[in-house]
C-alpha cells in the first residue's frame, strides 16, 4: 500500500482549476477527448436515485493542503478451468475425463441434475429423476451442446447481435435453452456439466504497479469482497478512483447491498470511454457516476486542460491507464519465470539434473565430445 508515483498519484484538482486553465465546460455525460453528442433519455432507476448527484468541491478549502488522489485499475480475465458442477462450489473435479463433481459432492451424481428437485436419479448413470419434464429439458440441453456446429454457432452469435445483448466487446455465445416452467432456460440451476471458467481479477495502480489479485466468478459480490479484502487493513489508502470494465455493475451491487457503504464515500468507480458512451442511453447509474473523463467539471481529477497551437483549450484525460491494462501478459510472464526458478532450485537440491552420462546415452556422443 506504500507505492506512489506521478503516473498513479496526482495532486487533488478542483473545478476552479479547470476554469483557471481555460476549460470550456461541456454538457452532462460528455466524455473528454471523444466527440459525442449524448442523447439523454429519462430512465427510471431506483438504484441511481438512492445516490445523490456527484459532488465536487469548487475550489481548494482555505487553509488546508490540497491533498492527493490515486487511480487504480481493475481488470478481469477469464481462465478456462474445470470445477465441480454445483454452481456454488469451487472445488476441483475428482475425475477430469468425464466427471462432474468434486470429492465433497460426488454423491450428487445420484441426485436429479435439476438442483431444485433433489429426488434420486431414475437409474444409475441417468442425469435426472423420472419427471418427464426434466427428462425432456435435459434432452434438449444435451442436443444444443452436442449439435453446436460452426454455422450453428454463427447463427447464435448473429441473433445475439441483432438483439443487441452482446454488451461486451466481442461476441458472446450463450446457448439458448427452453424455459423450464416459468424459469428462463439460462436460469435453470443444474449439474449436467462440470463448471468451466473462473475469472482472474487483478488490481493495479494506474502506472501498472500491482496491488492485488484474486480469482472469482464474474459475480459482483465477489469483486466487492476482493476490494474489501485488499483495503481491509488500509482503508485510508483506498483509491479515489477505480477504473473497471464493469464498474457500473459493481457500483450498482454496492448501492443495492448498502447505500451507506464506505466505498461510496471514498471512491468513484469509472468505466472506459467506449463502455460509457454505449451505456449512456440505458443506464442512469452509469451515466451519472461512471464517466471516465466528464467535460462538465464534475471530476476535475480525471481531466487535464491542453492548449493547442491555435490557442484553443481542450480537455483531455489526466491518467493514462494503458500500462496497467496491458500488464497482464507481463504478470503471467513474471510468474512463469519465478516458477521456473523454483523448479530449477528443486532440480539442483534433489540432484535431478541431466548428467553427461544421460546425454551420452541419449545422443550417442563419445566421451569428450562437444556436449560437455
Ligand atoms: Zn504508480
Ligand atoms: Zn463440489
Ligand atoms: Zn428431478
Ligand atoms: Zn455501464
Please identify, among 137, 169, 193, the residue that sits at the C-terminal boundary of a domain: 193
- Let me know if residue 86 belongs to a domain: no
Q: What is the pLDDT of residue 371?
A: 44
- Let me know if residue 89 belongs to a domain: no
What is the CB neighbour count within 10 angstroms for residue 22? 14
Residue 354 domain boundaries = 328-363
Please identify, among 165, 193, 221, the residue that sits at the C-terminal boundary of a domain: 193
Distance from Cα 294 to the centre of ligand 4, integer Å: 14
Q: What's the whole-number mean pLDDT along residues 115-137?
A: 94
- pLDDT level of residue 304 (50, 70, 90 thresholds): very high
Distance from Cα 111 to the centre of ligand 2, integer Å: 13
Work out the mean pLDDT of the chain and round it to a whole number: 83
pLDDT tens track for 236-294 = 999 999 999 889 989 999 998 898 999 999 999 999 888 898 888 888 999 999 999 99
Distance from Cα 244 to the centre of ligand 4, integer Å: 10
- pLDDT level of residue 43 (50, 70, 90 thresholds): confident
- pLDDT level of residue 36 (50, 70, 90 thresholds): confident
Same domain, 153 and 210: no
Number of DSSP helices (H) and strands (E) in the chain, helices first = 11, 8
Place of cell 510472464: 333
Ligand approaching nearest to the C-alpha of 91:
2
Distance from Cα 118 to the centre of ligand 2, integer Å: 15
Same domain, 65 and 206: yes
What is the CB neighbour count within 10 angstroms for residue 216? 18
Distance from Cα 105 to the centre of ligand 3, integer Å: 17
Ligand approaching nearest to the C-alpha of 87:
2
Ligand approaching nearest to the C-alpha of 281:
4
DSSP 162-227: HHT---SSS---------BTTB-GGG--B-SS-EEEEEEEEEEETTS-EEEEEEE-S-HHHHHHHH
Distance from Cα 105 to the centre of ligand 4, integer Å: 37
- Let me know if residue 370 belongs to a domain: no
Same domain, 250 and 278: yes
- Let me know if residue 43 belongs to a domain: yes
| Number of residues written out for the chain | 372
Grid coordinates representing 52 are 445523490
Same domain, 29 and 172: no
- Let me know if residue 62 belongs to a domain: yes
Please classify residue 267 by burial: count the beta carbons closer than 10 Å to its beta carbon, then call 0-12 exposed, 13-18 middle and 19+ buried.
buried
Q: What is the pLDDT of residue 159?
A: 63
- Let me know if residue 83 belongs to a domain: no
Ligand approaching nearest to the C-alpha of 94:
2
Same domain, 235 and 318: yes
- Let me know if residue 4 belongs to a domain: no
Distance from Cα 100 to the centre of ligand 2, integer Å: 9
Distance from Cα 40 to the centre of ligand 4, integer Å: 14
> Which spans in the chain are helix H?
15-20, 132-146, 150-163, 220-230, 247-257, 263-266, 273-279, 284-289, 322-325, 328-349, 356-363
Residue pair 255/289 in contact by the 8 Å Cβ criterion: no
Q: For residue 107, which of 89, 88, 120, 98 has the smallest C-alpha distance?
A: 120
- Report how far residue 248's alpha carbon sits from residue 254's, in angstroms, rounded to the nearest whole number: 10
Q: b/e for 316-332, b at 16 or more Cβ within 10 A?
A: ebbbebebbbebeeebe
Same domain, 124 and 219: no
pLDDT tens track for 54-87 = 667 788 888 888 889 999 999 887 776 778 899 8
Distance from Cα 242 to the centre of ligand 1, integer Å: 14
Same domain, 207 and 58: yes
- pLDDT level of residue 147 (50, 70, 90 thresholds): low
Is the pLDDT at 180 greater than 50? The verdict is yes
Nearest 5 degrees, angle CA 179-CA 182-CA 184?
40
Please identify, among 169, 193, 217, the residue that sits at the C-terminal boundary of a domain: 193
Distance from Cα 209 to the centre of ligand 2, integer Å: 35
Grid coordinates representing 295 are 467535460
Domain count, the chain: 3
> What percent of the chain has a predicted confidence (pLDDT) above 90?
36
Distance from Cα 330 to the centre of ligand 1, integer Å: 16
- Let me know if residue 125 belongs to a domain: yes
Amino acid at each position: 500500500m506504500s507505492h506512489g508515483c506521478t503516473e498513479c498519484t496526482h495532486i487533488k484538482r478542483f473545478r476552479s482549476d479547470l476554469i483557471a486553465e481555460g476549460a470550456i465546460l461541456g454538457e452532462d455525460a460528455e466524455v473528454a477527448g471523444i466527440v459525442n453528442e449524448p442523447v439523454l433519455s429519462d430512465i427510471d432507476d431506483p438504484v441511481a436515485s438512492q445516490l445523490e448527484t456527484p459532488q465536487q468541491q469548487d475550489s481548494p478549502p482555505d487553509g488546508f493542503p490540497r491533498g492527493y488522489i490515486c487511480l487504480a485499475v481493475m481488470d478481469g480475465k477469464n481462465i478456462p478451468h474445470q470445477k465441480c458442477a454445483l454452481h456454488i462450489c469451487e472445488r476441483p473435479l475428482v475425475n477430469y475425463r468425464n466427471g462432474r463433481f468434486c470429492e465433497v459432492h460426488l454423491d450428487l451424481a445420484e441426485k436429479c441434475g435439476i438442483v431444485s428437485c433433489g429426488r434420486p436419479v431414475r437409474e444409475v448413470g441417468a442425469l435426472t429423476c423420472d419427471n418427464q419434464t426434466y427428462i425432456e429439458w435435459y434432452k434438449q440441453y444435451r442436443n444444443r451442446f452436442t449439435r453446436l456446429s460452426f454455422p450453428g454457432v454463427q447463427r447464435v452469435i448473429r441473433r445475439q447481435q441483432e438483439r443487441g445483448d452482446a454488451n461486451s466487446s466481442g461476441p458472446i455465445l450463450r446457448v439458448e435453452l427452453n424455459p423450464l416452467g416459468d424459469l428462463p432456460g439460462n436460469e435453470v440451476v443444474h449439474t449436467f456439466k462440470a463448471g468451466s471458467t473462473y475469472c482472474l481479477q487483478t488490481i493495479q495502480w494506474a502506472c501498472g504497479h500491482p496491488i492485488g489479485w484474486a480469482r472469482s466468478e464474474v459475480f459482483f459480490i465477489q469483486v466487492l469482497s476482493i476490494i474489501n479484502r485488499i483495503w481491509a487493513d488500509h482503508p485510508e489508502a483506498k483509491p479515489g478512483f477505480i477504473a473497471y470494465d464493469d464498474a457500473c455493475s459493481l457500483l450498482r451491487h454496492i448501492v443495492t447491498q448498502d447505500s451507506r457503504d464506505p466505498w461510496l464515500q471514498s471512491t468513484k468507480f469509472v468505466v472506459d470511454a467506449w463502455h460509457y458512451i454505449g451505456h449512456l442511453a440505458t443506464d442512469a447509474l452509469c451515466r451519472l457516476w461512471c464517466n471516465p473523463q466528464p467535460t462538465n467539471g464534475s471530476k476535475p481529477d480525471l481531466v487535464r486542460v491542453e492548449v493547442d497551437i491555435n490557442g484553443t483549450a481542450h480537455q483531455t484525460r489526466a491518467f493514462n491507464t494503458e500500462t496497467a491494462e496491458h500488464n497482464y501478459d507481463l504478470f503471467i510472464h513474471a510468474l512463469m519465470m519465478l516458477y521456473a526458478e523454483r523448479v530449477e532450485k528443486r532440480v539442483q537440491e534433489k540432484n535431478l539434473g541431466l548428467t553427461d552420462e544421460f546425454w551420452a546415452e541419449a545422443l550417442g556422443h563419445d566421451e569428450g565430445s562437444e556436449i560437455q
